[in-house]
Structures are given as C-alpha cells and as structure tokens.
A and B are shown apart, each in its own frame.
Chain A
Amino acid sequence: MVVMTTPAFILTWLILGADPAQINFSRDILPILSDNCYSCHGPDEKARKAKLRLDTQEGAFAKSKSPGAHIIKAKDSTKSELFQRLITTDEKELMPPPSSARKLGKNQIELLKAWIDQGANWGKHWAFEAPIRPNVPVSTSDARTSNPIDSFILEKLKAEGLKQAPRATRETLVRRLYLDLTGLPPNLVQAESFINDNSPNAYAKLVDGLLASPHYGERMVWDWLDASRYADSNGYQGDNERTMWPWRDWAASAFNDNLSFKEFTTWQLAGDLLPNPTIEQRLATGFNRNHMINGEGGRIAAENRIDYVMDMSETMGTIWLGLTFNCCRCHDHKYDALSQKDYYQLFSFFNNTPVDGGGGNPQTPPVLEFSTSEQLLKKKQLDSSVGKLQSQVEELENKIFPREKGKKASDSEAAKDYSKESKDILSKPAGSRGKAQLQQLAKAVEKSKPELFLILNSLIKTIDERDNFSKLMPRVMVMEELPKQRETFILNIGNYEKPMAKVGIAVPAVLPQIRKADSINRLDLAQWLVTKENPLTSRVIVNRFWQQFFGTGIVKTSEDFGVQGEKPSHPELLDWLAVEFQESNWDVKHLVRLIVLSETYQQSSRLDPEAKEKDSANKFLSHGPRYRRPAWMIRDQALAASGLLIPQIGGPPTRPYQPQGIWEDATFGNKRYVPDQGENLYKRSVYTFWRRIIGPTMFFDTPARQYCNVKLSRTNTPLHALATLNDTTYVEASRVLAQRELLATTNKGEVLDEVVIENIFRAILARKPSNEEAGILSAAVKRYQDAFEKDAEAAKKFIAVGKMPASTAIDSKKLAAFGTLALSLFNLDEALNKE
C-alpha cells in the first residue's frame, strides 16, 4: 500500500470514514463508474462514445490522447485523464457532460482519486466471481448464536453499534414458525404443546416436524409459482383455460420430498433431455410452458413463437441468474457485461421446441396426458359415439347421393343443385369435416333431407360434448426437442422478422463457459446453472429463500444481481450460505433449517428505541422481521383458525368466493365466474383458479402471473382493509370460529363470555389476551350484542353470510356478536403481520 501524507489525503480519509486501503473495486468504484459513465462508455457498443469503454480493464487503462497520459494511470491521478476530466473547470471537457444531468459527488471524486493513487486495483463485478466460503467471524460478545448465520449478523451489528434483540416469546415463535413453514397457523393443541415443551431441543423438534408436514410444500411452492408465472389460463384476449395444475402439484411435492435444487433445476429446464426420462421428469418441464399464449386473431405465429422463446430464456435468466437479460433483446446491456449476442445465444437453448406459435390452444402439444382412467374411458366412449354417427352419416349419404363406386357424394346427380360450399363439404369423408362445415351442411339439407339433418345434428352435439369434456382432461404442456437445432439469429431490436447475424448456442461470455466438446443443449445449460463455478445461481437462490423468511433479501434487488442491483447488506454471509447450499448438494430443507434455527430469525420483532433510530428498516437485522403476511396466507389463516379449511393436497383449481360479475366485467360476459359449492370453497389459496387477465381479487399485492416475478410487493392501502373486513371468506370464517367456540362451551354449564373471547383470541393469535386487551374485548362484545339485540334481523343476515349454515343451537344475536368480534380480531395488525 502506498502511504500518503498530503492534506488532501487526510481529507479523503475523513470523508470516507474508512481506511482507504480497504477500497474495494467492485463495492466502491464500479458502482460509480456504472452509474455515471457506462451509458456512454459501457458494454453497449452502439451507444458508445469516443470509442472509449470503461467497463473493461483494457479500455479503462488504455493510452489517452494527451501525451504520457492514460485513461487511468495506476498510482498517478495527475496522468489519469478519467480523473482530470472529473475535476476540470472547462465545461467542454468536463465529464460526465453537464447536459447528461449526471454529476459525481465530491466524495465520489475523492474516492476515485484515492483508488487511482493507491494503484487502481481492477476487478470484476462481485456477483460474477464465484463465491468462496469466507471464514466465520469469531463472536466475542455474549450474544446468542446457534449457527454461522448469527456470527455474520452479530459482527455487522457490532460494527454498527447495534445489539441483538431478545428472543421472541414462545407464543410468537410458534405462530411465526407455523406460518413461515406451512402457511397455516398452529391450532391450540399444537401451540400449547410447543409452549409447554421444556426440553432443550423443543424448538428444533418443532422445526423438523413442520419441515416434514405436507403443508410445507404448499407454502414453499407459492413463491415458485409467482416466479414461474404459473396460471390456469392463457392470458391475452380469449384467455382460454389451461390444465397445467399437475405441474403445480409436482412442484409442491418436490419441495416436500426435498428434491435437491440441482435436480429441481435440471428436471424443470430439461427433464425431457435426461436419458430415459421418467414421467415426473418430463412433467417438470411444464415449467417452461407456463408462459402466456396469444391466440388473438391476426397474430402472426412466427412472432408468437419468438415471444415464447424470449419468455422462456428471460424467465430462466431472472430465476437462476438474477440478471436483467430482457434489456439485451434489443441492444447490448447498458450496465452489465451482457451483449445482445449473449442474449440470442442463450435464446438458442430454448429455440428448439416443436411449438410453432400458431393458435391459442391452451393444451398446445407436446403435452403429457394426466387423465384419470374414468376420464379416459369416458373420452373413449364419446370418441366411439362420434365415430358411429360419422359412419351413419356416410351410409345415409350413400343412399341419398347415389353414384358410381369410387366417386364422391358431391359428384352424384342428386347433389347437382347444392351450392359450391356444400359440394366441397360433401366431397370430404364425414370424419374429416369440421364442426362449422357440419353445421353448414345441416343447414343446407334441413328442408330437403330431414333424416340427414337429424343425424348431422346429433353428430354435432356429440362432438361438442366430447370436445368440452376433453378440454377439462388435464394435459400438461411440456418440452420436447426438435431433432435438428433451429437456427438462431440476433434479432434487430427484438423484431422477429429482422434477423441479423446468425449465432450459435452458448452461455454469456462473462460467465464461466460450459466445458464440453460436443454440441450443447438445454440439458447442458440446466446442469451448468448448478455447477459450483457458476457465480450466480447459488447466491441468487439462497437470497430468495432468505427473502422469503426475512422479507428482504441480503441483496435487496432479488431480481437484479447486476451492477445496477443493490450491493449485498452482508456479502460474506451471502457467500457463506451460497457455498453451504452447494456443498450440501443444494439441499433446500437444510438451508431453510439453518435460517429458522438461527438466533437471528428467532429475535423478537419489537423495535427498541435504539434499533428504531439506527435500524428502522431492519437492514442489519437488529430485530426480528415484522411485515404484513401475503394475502393468500391471511386467507388460509382465517380458513384454518375457523376449522373451515379442507386440507386436501393438490387437485384441479378451485373457485372460492369472489364478488359477483368479476370476470364478466373484464370479458363482456364471455367468461362467467361461478363460485364452487361445498369443499372447494375452503381449500387452500394455492389451488385457487388463476385467470391471467383478471387475477383472484382476494389476493392483494400479488404478481399478475403474466411474467416471471421474484420480488414481493408489500403495500399498505385501505383496499386491503376492505377485503379482510368485508370479503365473504373472512365474515364466514369469523362466524364459524365464534360458533365453534360457543358450542364448545355450551355443554359445560354456565360459561362466561370471557372464556369464549379468550378461546377465539387464542385460535387466531396463539396467545392469551393481556388484561387490558381482555377488557377492551369484553366491552366490545357487549356493544356488538346490544346492537344486534336492537336489530335481530341484522343478526340473522350476518350469520347467514357464506355457504356454511349457522348453528341453530346458539342464539343468533349472540352468534352475530361473537362473529363480529372474531372479524375484528382477524383484522388486528398482529393477525395480519408476521411477528
């Protein structure tokens, strides 16, 4: 290190508040260059000015026009044009140009100077260097640690002058853990059994039990479905229903079976290319086919096909690599070292399926059949009915239109007065006439040949019946590879009909390459993603699981690990987790277990004044995370707490309560929303039918599932309050919960309202109310009851909300009052929040 003693240097030191010896290119310098220079001197060749690029070492250290100077000359800022251009007073020379509205801060300029004078160490963007397992810091404090996660977190807390928060209460922990790992709250017995378990490993036992629960997969798969843009319809106009749900169920079961994330990756991206793939491995490839399908009239098939391939490649790029590849559809990336050529070489991996982009069939082949044997039998029967009717039509036509053998019915003398269209139809065998043709022919013979008319009509009817039935038979669109690789070209601004240079098949040049002598395909790509040389996948994936448990990733921009993304708040922890994940053979349950067993996770989410001042956004995890639960989990909580939940795993999509006319409004009545009856009203949210053009209304802050989404959105608006206060689901669940608790106590003689109140409270929050809370609640229930006493009709109406009948054994006014109380409790901040 160069020791400098000039006053300027001391000033720099003070401004930075850190030892300049620790200037780290990727952390401190690259972001400045990226933000201020790369739009003109970065990776995008077309946008590059003065043939200068500052994103490569070669470019940045090149000779400059001034004699003896370089763009950057190590250890000599006076001979570094880059620096001189930052401090010049000549407006024409100044960089960035004043017209760009970009301007470096004074300390950024000082930092660049210090970096150059120290030797201008060059490096790569941090996320492009493979993670190496860092040493775990030795904890010196008396804070609680249960695994290395805590050591990394504590080290940072200490540096920031913060302290670890105390552990959350057992009541809070049990609810936190149940909801985090299964998406369902504990019932009273489950909560009690943990709260009263005094064994030292009580918490670890609870964790293991929940990881083994079949509901774990249902919880974990939700974020995966958002990322995979899973939906039950095509999107776009028409928005035809598809049947991809067996894929959804497979993905949930893969989490339950703890399929290694390696296999999870290869199967979904390229299961079809594995040697002798199993049905399960082929089913997994439905992942790629979850994209929208555009069946609008007038759409050009070739353009659709390109859209689909782009969607597949970009989805892969976001989910596994955390890169914003979509920018490179049209041009080289403005900030990251990704070229347009890289984009289309990656596109090549997906550019080889038999899909041609035509039509809007929501079961566009290749498909896997997932029908039950009953369904297959019924389909066979309908097929044979259609076949029989077709031969009857032909027999009859032979009689009506007599002709020589080998001639067609249309050649018959009897057909000579028919229109050209009708003759065309008659010239075809009955089995190859389309429905519209059959209808047209039926019309033509309606008067003259009534017996043919009748039989044509029953054929049309049977075809309809068969086709409608067939549409509901689950077929999952999957991947297949054409025998010969389709050629791929760079497309000018992404336009399907403007091919430019032909490209091969490859992963982005900035990343380690696939080492293989032969030609490579989608399977090689999938396997490459999960190699330890790949610097991105393991980090990107552990970051998203972290986000799932702490609300925010270690890299906050979980969708962008590029230069413009946020730097990790705890880079060493991220790398430690990434390497741990790789070395555990990409064991997801192992990772989740590490996270939830950490003391960091178990902290109380109470904000003490010091933490509030220094870490209110909880960037340093000085306390447990506290944020609103996703809407789907809030709904499942209400169903579970009330006992309405039908905990059946998997199956076709369900249609729970939604406001009347919700689909009609968006589709001119072409699609009607008819809620299901019975059990389907009470299944978990993950099974709710997802229409792309108008998603389920009860889930606020959820992605539209039109494109890949890996970042959770969390807003706080009155619309959410209206949903949880007024939606039938919550009103019904509140009343059913009140009913259960009232009935449970009626057999026990004289029961105080307070007992019922406490039981309802505990069913929702897994803890007992404090005295102050209990006082408010019992006054509340009295007030509610008074109101219903004055209006008995209102009570009857209130308890009739929802399909589950109200018990007649309880006075309707009392039931309505306690139901209202439960509804208030479901709407408490504590009930809505992760705490």
Chain B
Amino acid sequence: MDPRIQQSLLVNRREFFGKQALGLGTAALSGLLAKDGFAAAPQNNRLPDLPHWKPKAKNVIYLFQNGAPTHVDLFDYKPKLIEMHGKPVPDSLFEGKRFSTMTGNPKGKVMLSPVEPFKQRGNSGSWVSDFLPHTASIADDLCFIKSMHTEAVNHAPAISFFLSGAQIPGRPTLGSWLSYGLGSESENLPAFVVMTSISKGTTCGQIFYDFYWGSGFLPSKHQGVKFSSGGDPVLYLSNPEGMSKNLRRAQLDDISKLNEIKLKEFGDPEIATRIAQYEMAYRMQTSVPELTDFSKESEKTLAMYGPQVREPGTLPTTA
C-alpha cells in the first residue's frame, strides 16, 4: 500500500473524501471487512496481484442517475432525428419486433427531434444540449461514452444490468468487485458505501433494491453499506439514549478485557477479530457522522451544490 495514504486512522470528512479511500461510492473501509485473523495493522485487503499498475484514482464515485431525459435530449446528438421530426416512425424500427406494454409499439407514432438544440462545446467539440448549460460549460473535463446499452425494457432489470452486468439479480455489483479486487485503505468506514436519493420526484418512484449493491457470489463483506437518508446514516450507529460516549468507551474496554481472557483461554483467532470489530464500530460512531455532517462546510462550498443542498434525500444533499 502507498504509505502516503496509509496514515490516518481517524479520518475527518475532508480527508476522507480528499485522500482516503479507494472504493466505490466514495467511502471505503477495509476495516468493515473482517480481516481473517487478527486485529491487524491497517492493510487494504486487496488481491495480491492487483492493481496492475500504479493507480491514480483514490476513490471511485459512481453517480447513477435513475430517471432523466433521454440521452438523445442531453448529449447524444442525432441529426437524423431533427431531419425526421414529425414523420411517422419508419417500419424498419418495429417490423418483426415485439414490444412490451412498458415500451409500447411505436407503430403510427411520429418522430421527435431533440427538445432543445445541441451545440458543440469546448475544445473537444463534444455535442451537448442546451438542456445542460452547466455540463456544457465543462464538456472538456468530461468523457462521454455512448456505446452502452441494455436490452431491458424496465427499470429494475436495466439497473441491475448496469450495476452487475446481468438483468437477473444475484451477480456482484461494481463496488463489490472493486472492494474485492482493490480493497480499501480506510480503517474507519466500509469499503463500499451507497447513498440513495429518496425523493420520489427525481427517481420516477423507482424502488431501490439491495441487490443493486449486493455482492452476489463474492463474500458478503463486499456488499455495499447503505447510508440511509433519514435517521442514522448507518443502522444502529447512535448510542442508546442516556449512554454517553465516555460510558460507551468504558463499556467497550470492559467487553474487551473479558474477551481477552477468553482469547487467552480458547485461542480462537475470531475472538481477536471480534475485539477489533468492536473497536472499529466505536470509531465508526465518530467518523461516520462527521462524514455525513456538512454543517461545517462553508456557504461557498454548499452553494456549489445548488439550492436543494439542505433538503434531506435530494441528490445535492446526498452528493
């Protein structure tokens, strides 16, 4: 592991997003991943042969925008569409094909040109619609991949395909593979963290299934940990009512002392892991709220996320 990023055990939010982590969905915590064996020094749990080259990326942030205008209205410029505007859908698009009730049969319908005009942007000359004025202004910083498609006609199977490579649930998802292959460098947070938006309006009312971030046939420690949008970001993160941080510390010290006796007597290395995991739980109780608390961010920073930044469950808050 790169010693430069190995250092801090207790990360703050800034550090975490800035230099830590090498997992999907920003956060990464090898710690979550039970290390087989002992309460070890930080290590990133990656596969021995990986990475194949010195990585530049320190973390992967994958924003999945579920529900949006179509690509032909955003960044996939199709001049032919403009040409054919108002004309009936050509036979070649539906003949010999079956359509589900979800997609509908286009027979007898007319073609529609992009709703807003497209222009070429920046030095790269990428086509971006006027729909996306801000995106258009940073076109040179972006990489557009236009070759992706799914065969699914419905949200859930299509998303499952996007995230796992298969329409049918049960395969490991992107983040799980990264956690499995590259491990993580943070000791205080899970390697693969998922945050979802809960606003019905911006998600087409689509439900998030946990197989979207499942680990499939990989060990379950590689599955995404969902930070919830209301209440505790991680389930059961807060101490019970009336239990102070100091008291919890004292309690964990006592649990640890008793577990040490057991370890000495029984020799089961899993006991050592348990002791380490309880310590990690304690550290998460501190680091996760810091991670998800942006009350200390400056107004200027917050303004960059737009006006919805303080509405829980919206994309700006989650981001």
Contact = CB atoms under 8 A, between A and B. Distances in A.
Interface string A282-307: 00000000000000111110000000
Interface residues of B, number: 73
A229 to B, nearest CB: 13
B232 to A, nearest CB: 7
A237 B203 CA distance: 14
A784 interface: yes
Given A725-B236, A780-B250, A607 B244 contact: no
A727 B102 CA distance: 42
Contact of B267 (A612, A707, A720, A797): A612
Contact of B262 (A791, A798, A823, A830): A830
B31 A776 contact: no
Contact of A668 (B154, B198, B247, B261): B198
Nearest to A697: B235
Contacts of B208: 666
Interface string B92-113: 0000001011100000000000
Interface stretch (A146-154, A364-372, A709-717): A709-717
Interface stretch (A53-61, A478-486, A657-665): A657-665
B150 interface: no
A628 B277 CA distance: 13
B254 A715 contact: no
Given A607-B268, A787-B246, A299 B154 contact: yes
B303 interface: no
B219 A824 contact: no
A795 interface: yes
Given A773-B258, A780-B254, A816-B242, A298 B153 contact: yes
B230 interface: yes
B277 A721 contact: yes
Most chain A beta-carbon neighbours within 10 Å: one of B228, B234, B236: B236
Interface string A799-835: 1110000000000000010001001100111101101
B241 A798 contact: yes
A311 B168 CA distance: 12
B69 interface: no
Contact of A787 (B210, B244, B285): B244
Contacts of A694: 210
Contacts of B277: 716-718, 720-721
Contacts of A627: 270
A327 interface: no
B271 A718 contact: no
A616 B244 CA distance: 39
Interface string B234-260: 111111111110111011001101110
B269 A659 contact: no
A731 interface: yes
Nearest to B32: A717
A770 B208 CA distance: 50
Nearest to B33: A717
A824 B274 CA distance: 14
B267 A824 contact: no
A731 B241 CA distance: 9
Contacts of B266: 605-607, 626, 835
A664 B198 CA distance: 9
Contacts of B275: 829
A820 B247 CA distance: 9
A731 B240 contact: yes
Contacts of A661: 228, 230-231
Contacts of A239: 207
A668 B243 contact: no
Given A608-B267, A780-B250, A718 B278 contact: yes
16 contacts: A297-B102, A298-B101, A298-B154, A626-B270, A659-B236, A664-B230, A665-B196, A706-B169, A721-B278, A722-B234, A773-B258, A776-B257, A795-B242, A801-B241, A820-B243, A829-B274
What 10 A-B pairs come out closest when comparing CB atoms?
A798-B242, A298-B102, A797-B242, A718-B281, A721-B281, A716-B34, A607-B267, A718-B280, A797-B241, A722-B236
Interface of A: 236-237, 239, 296-300, 497, 605-609, 612, 616, 626-628, 659-662, 664-669, 693-694, 697, 701, 704, 706-707, 713, 715-723, 725-728, 731, 770, 772-773, 776-777, 780, 783-784, 787, 791, 793-801, 816, 820, 823-824, 827-830, 832-833, 835
Interface of B: 31-34, 98, 100-102, 153-154, 156, 169-170, 196, 198, 200, 203, 205-211, 219-221, 225, 228-232, 234-244, 246-248, 250-251, 254-255, 257-259, 261-263, 265-271, 273-275, 277-278, 280-281, 284-285
